[in-house]
Structure 1
Amino acid sequence: LIHPKMVVPIHFGTFGLIEQDAAAWGRDVSVQTSTAPHILKPGDWVTVSV
C-alpha cells in the first residue's frame, strides 16, 4: 500500500451519476488515515512537489 501525505479528489460534482459529498469524504479521510485531504473549488489549484 502507498501512504500519501495528501489526497485531492477530482471529478466530484461534475455530473449527477458520480455526485458525492466532498466535505464528508474529507472528514472520513482525516478520521481514518493520517493523510491530509485537499478539496479544491473550481479554479483553485495546489502545488505538489516531489
Structure 2
Amino acid sequence: MGNCSRVERRPSSESATNSNKKFAIFYASYHVLNSVFPRSNPRPTGRSAGGSRCP
C-alpha cells in the first residue's frame, strides 16, 4: 500500500483493542436494530406523567 498522505499513524497505545472493536460493533448493531425494529412500548424512565410526588 502506498502512503500518499502526511498523516502519521497512531501510537500503539492509542490503537483500538479487541474489546474496543467488539464494543463498537455491538453499539452500532444495537442502534441499527433499534431503528429497524423500534419498540412499541418503551421502557419506563421512572418518571410519572402526572402522579403524586414522593415527600
**Relative to total residues, which structure has the larger helix share, 1 or 2?**
2
**Both proteins in one fold, TM over 0.5:** no
TM-score, L = length of structure 1: 0.31
**Relative to total residues, which structure has the larger strand share, 1 or 2?**
1
